[in-house]
Amino acid sequence: MIKRLQKRYALSEQGAKDLVKGCLACALQNLSFMFPVGLLYLLVRDLMSGGVGGGRTAFYAVGCAACIGLILLTTYIQYNATYFATYTESGVRRITLAERLRKIPLSFFGKKDLADLTSTIMADCTFLEQSFSHFIPELAGAVVSTVLVCVGLFAFDWRMALAALWVVPVAFAVVGFSSGVQQKLNQKAMDVKIACADGIQECIETVRDLKANNAERRYLDTLAEKIRAVERRSILNEFGLAAFVVSASLVLKLGIATVTLTGAVLLTRGSLDILTFFMFLLVVSRLYDPLQGALQNLAAVISTRTNIARMNEILQHPVQQGNERLTNTGYDIVFDHVGFAYDASEAVLQDVSFTAKQGQVTALVGPSGGGKTTVSRLAARFYDVSRGRITVGGMDVSETDPEALLSLFSIVFQDVTLFDNTVMENIRIGNKDADDEQVLAAARLANVDEFAEKLPDGWNTYIGENGCFLSGGERQRISIARAFLKNAPIILLDEATASLDVENETLIQSALSRLIADKTVLVIAHRMRTVAGADKIVVLADGAVAEEGSPEELKKKNGLYARMLKLQTESQNWQLT
């Protein structure tokens, strides 16, 4: 049962056990509320049979105190078993999702946007936190306590029990049949919420471009419509839920009428005593209250399916695994008939084979969309190949743990990601165990000291979200300093100087020259002069290797590389006329 609960509600093993405890605690609390009814029944029976003597008075006084104590105790147990356990599980669930996302192949993120994933980790977890503290335990508790009370009612009088309980399965069936409708409504509501979150995030991220193109008003009008769509969907959702729950509640209330009518008929026939009739009226007046709450909880539990499905999509997605022990001999990177597709319908790489040798610079060039960046990502196992094989020093990367494999790589991306922290701590990302002297040494090799020491607080200056207080060249130099600090034997450079001015490009190329010495280097570049000093050039076009060789060899071939070199030379001579 624990395994089923884990899968059904996206819980940890401890969370599933705590859920069972919470359900039992709620059932216990509901049963404790029936003890005053039993005590009242005994009191009425004594009054009808001649009054309450001194001894019985003490009994009822102690009974009242015991009922109050029992209710307080069971409420305390229920609170701890549901709320406290739920808060713990909520934290575990968020951490589990984050850990899973860390191990999932990057191809998964290409199919998801940031707002969708953020909504799953934050909004879905919050909704499930409410479900596991309010809805599910109270629903299960109401069902368990009701079953036990029903057994007692049938023991007293099966006819009255049927009159009281026939409405229960009918009411629950009404809500149960709403499952399909609710799922459709919830999915549509989730879609418009994600679209709205996307729009808000996009507006914040692109506000500069919107202003530059006088498009603010038009975009905000579109965003306002997305917000109104969320409002409309929320109202429709609430109405759809209320229609079934209110109808079921009305059916449930019919039980009081049928108990009254059945009891009246049986009384007139003399087959039911007044005390039993009174007892049934007391019980049903108490019984239907938790059941009415249970109907609402059932509807809420049904609505959690959409949220749970989104979480399970992450939790059940295959992760990249492999041997944590590195078995490579050397650091040659070999692509052996590699094919790759982000999805089955569109192949990005067809049949790529080449070797990037240790101690050499291998440059990947070619037209946009040829597969250059994909090749570098596959080498570091950001994705897994569809066919073929990639090895590093003879070690198959697809059989190696991604984190262990990445210990061999230092990567400098074109788009640098920095954190809202100091210059020093942003560089230390390359090696969290490095001391300040090692960080400063790496920073100087990357020419970071040229601007860092001029900042208001020097190396301890906070650089803003994603380094917004720095220029593009300064941000890039911090990225290269990280690579120096990591000092890995394999370097991947992805358009590291593509968007820089001449002065910054010269400084960064000087830093890169120091970084790549005696390492296996894979460079992606569009500028032909960037790779003029490469030991080997691999030209990729349409997902395949069009040609490879040294720069001089490829010039003589007069193929695609020579053509690209000629076009860039001509473009450099272009001028305004």
| Cβ neighbours of 575 (radius 10 Å) | 5
Up-side HSE of residue 305: CA atoms within 13 Å toward CB?
14
Residue 392 has what pLDDT? 93
At 156 the pLDDT is 80
Which helix (H) or strand (E) segment is 512 a member of?
helix 502-515
Choice between 404 and 81, residue whose per-residue pLDDT is larger: 404
pLDDT tens column, 161-197: 888 888 888 888 888 887 778 778 888 888 888 888 8
Which has more pLDDT, 326 or 314? 326
| Mean pLDDT, range 359-379, rounded to an integer | 86
DSSP single-letter state for residue 350: E
Q: Which CATH class is domain 325-408+537-577?
A: alpha beta
User: How far is Cα 483 from Cα 470, in angstroms, rounded to an integer?
Assistant: 19
pLDDT at 576 over 60: no
CA distances from 173 to 168, 176, 180, 254, 538 (A): 9, 5, 13, 15, 66
Q: Residues 6 or more apart from 447 whose CB is under 8 A from it?
A: 477, 507, 508, 510, 511
Helix (H, G, I), strand (E, B) or coil at 272: coil
Overall size of the chain counted in residues:
577
Residue 575 clears pLDDT 60, i.e. is over it: no
Do 141 and 30 meet the contact criterion of CB atoms below 8 Å apart? Answer: yes
Instruction: Outline which parts of the chain fall under CATH 1.20.1560.10.
Output: 2-313
Q: For the sheet containing 387-392, what is the strand order?
A: 395-396, 387-392, 333-343, 346-356, 544-549, 536-541, 361-365, 520-524, 490-494, 409-412
Joined together, the tokens standing for residue 425 give 């701590």
Buried b (16+ CB within 10 A) or exposed e, 133-154: bbbbbbbbbbbbbbeebbeebe
Find the range with the poorest average confidence among 199-203, 385-389, 545-549: 199-203
* Angle value at C-alpha 169, between 189 and 29, nearest 5 degrees: 85
Q: Rounded CA gap, 155 and 13, in Å?
A: 39
The per-residue pLDDT for 501 is 61
**pLDDT (mean) for 5-25:** 77
Where is average pLDDT lowest: 14-28, 104-118, 480-494? 104-118
- 521-569: per-residue pLDDT in tens? 898 877 777 777 788 999 988 888 889 998 888 888 888 888 887 777 6
> Does residue 335 register a pLDDT over 90?
yes
Backbone φ, ψ for residue 24 (5° rounding):
-65, -40
Q: Which residues, including other chains, have CB under 8 Å from residue 388's CB and lie 6 or more apart?
A: 335, 336, 337, 338, 339, 351, 352, 353
Average pLDDT of the chain is: 82
Contact indicator for 561, 547 with CB cutoff of 8 Å: yes
pLDDT at 343 over 80: no
Pairing of strands 490-494, 520-524: parallel
Per-residue pLDDT reduced to its tens digit, 486-517: 989 998 888 766 555 666 667 667 777 777 77
317 contact partners, CB below 8 Å, separation of at least 6: 100, 104, 108
Cα 163 to Cα 167, 251, 259, 271, 571, distances in angstroms:
8, 13, 5, 15, 90
pLDDT band at 445 (very low <50, low <70, confident <90, very high): confident
- pLDDT recorded at residue 427: 93
Mean pLDDT of the region 24-39: 82
Q: Running DSSP on this structure, what letter comes out for residue 390?
A: E
Question: Which pLDDT score is estimated for 499?
Answer: 53
Q: What's the pLDDT at 571? A: 59
**Would you say residue 147 has pLDDT above 60?**
yes
> Crossing angle of helices 472-486/502-515, nearest 10°?
0
Tell me the average pLDDT across 224-253: 86
Q: How far is CA 302 from the centre of its chain?
A: 20
Strand-pair partners of 490: 409, 520
pTM (2 decimals)? Answer: 0.67
| Cα distance between residue 291 and residue 294, in whole Å | 5
| φ/ψ of residue 353, rounded to 5 | -135, 125
DSSP string across 186-211: HHHHHHHHHHHHHHHHHHHHTHHHHH
Give kind and range of the element (H or E) at residue 333.
Answer: strand 333-343
Query: What mean pLDDT comes out for the span 243-251?
Result: 84
Q: Give the bridge partners for 539, in sequence order.
A: 365, 547
Question: pLDDT tens digits, residue range 76-115?
Answer: 888 888 777 777 777 788 888 888 888 887 777 766 777 7
Instruction: Tell me: pLDDT of 422 over 90.
Output: yes
Name every residue whose Cβ is closer than 8 Å to that of residue 19 and which is 6 or more positions away in sequence. Answer: 5, 9, 11, 85, 132, 136, 137
pLDDT at 154: 86
Quickly state the pLDDT bin for 300 (edges 50, 70, 90): confident
> What average pLDDT does range 239-261 have in this prediction?
85
Residue spans in the chain of domains classed CATH 3.40.50.300? 325-408+537-577
Which of 483, 485, 480, 477 minimizes the C-alpha distance to 452?
477
As a CATH number, domain 2-313 is 1.20.1560.10
Please write down the HEC assignment for all residues of 403-452. HHHHCCEEEECCCCCCCCCEHHHHHHCCCCCCCHHHHHHHHHHCCCHHHH
Percent of the chain at pLDDT exceeding 90: 11
Amino acid identity of residue 293, one-letter, is G
The yes-or-no verdict on residue 574 having pLDDT over 60 is no
Overall average pLDDT of the 381-400 stretch: 91
DSSP for 275-327, please give it: HHHHHHHHHHHHHHHHHHHHHHHHHHHHHHHHHHHHHHHHHTS-----BSS--
